[in-house]
Amino acid sequence: MAATNALEPIEGTEGTRRPIVAHHFNNLLQQQASVRFGMWLFLATELLFFGGVICAYTVYRIWFPKDFEAASTALNPLIAGINSFLLLTSSFTCTLAIRAAYEGKQGMLKTWLAATILLGVTFLGFKAFEYYTDYKEGLIPSNKLVYNDPRSHNSQSTTVHQTGNTTEFAHNLEHVLKDKEYYKDGKNLGEVNLDRCRLFFVFYYAMTGLHVLHMVIGIGLFTWQYILASLGFFVPQERYVYVEVLALYWHFVELVWIFLLPLLYMAGHHNFANLGF
């Protein structure tokens, strides 16, 4: 039998009523437990998904340590650090949004939802800038070949392990690495197969791209909840559970980034002189 409190009055609506407990639940607690369980079940599938990719990356990282270290050195850890701060802060603001919804503070709920959205969008802005920088530097995995002219300075290139042609990617990566202190003037590049570094960047774009996709989905859902909050959907305080489960999803996205940060950005050789934009 449906609970007698399935319909509750909403303030400011002149006696109109909206359902809080759906007809297929016995009571509010059962509905809230189902909502939470559904999100945990979804996150379990996401854990298997990201876990498989991370395990594959780890295997190749063990097989080709020098190549992955060199490729990681070409990334920008400063942007990654800024984005880590933004994401951790957004995790805090969405938690405050749960508290505001639980206490029925609609104004604060919209404020914290808006703050979470803003921080998430800023994260994506920095990530887009990083992708653009990678593109400008030519760090896009491809098999496109460039001819190795023996009359140019590239004839001494450490990317060529045989005479003839080398890939454009390896040529560009070598140019980037020679600006780094650890690989300056070709130092320590002798043991690195820069063509094989493409594998690292395949993982880099796949893993960060999937993370960005999940962030876009999360920001879209937070935006929808902001609209619902503006329309008074969360006036019954019992509906705070919907903010709670979305925040749980956002915490998972943050946790994934906490793994991606050391795996991708901290696997190489970095120093303070190379942290600038």
Determine the pLDDT at residue 162.
38
d(CA 84, CA 91): 11
Does 7 map to a domain? no
Q: How far is CA 277 from the centre of its chain?
A: 20
CA distances from 43 to 188, 248, 255 (A): 42, 9, 12
Determine the pLDDT at residue 8.
45
Determine the pLDDT at residue 35.
72
Does 45 map to a domain? yes
- Residue owning tokens 């999803």: 249
Determine the pLDDT at residue 85.
96
Please report which residue ranges of 64-167 form alpha helices under DSSP H.
65-73, 77-102, 106-136
Domain containing 166: what range?
Answer: 20-271
Does 267 map to a domain? yes
Residues of the chain with pLDDT under 50: 1-17, 149-164, 276-277
Task: Show Cβ contacts of residue 267 under 8 Å, excluding neighbours closer than 6 positions.
Answer: 61, 68, 69, 72
Does 9 map to a domain? no
d(CA 170, CA 167): 5
Is the CB of residue 210 less than 8 Å from the CB of residue 53?
A: yes
Query: What are the backbone angles phi and psi of residue 105, rounded to the nearest 5°?
Result: -90, 90
Question: How many degrees, rounded to 5, is the angle at CA 80 between CA 67 and CA 41?
Answer: 95
Collapse the DSSP code of 145 into the 3-class scheme (helix H, G, I; strand E, B; otherwise coil) and give the result: strand
Number of H helices, E strands in the chain: 7, 4
d(CA 160, CA 148): 8
Does 15 map to a domain? no
Does 12 map to a domain? no
Determine the pLDDT at residue 86.
96
Beta bridge partners of 167: 145
Q: What pTM did the predictor assign?
A: 0.82
**What CATH number does the domain containing 36 carry?**
1.20.120.80
As for how many domains the chain has, the answer is: 1
Beta bridge partners of 17: 9
Does 227 map to a domain? yes
Does 14 map to a domain? no
Please report which residue ranges of 103-230 form alpha helices under DSSP H.
106-136, 168-177, 198-230
Query: What are the backbone angles phi and psi of residue 126, rounded to the nearest 5°?
Result: -65, -40
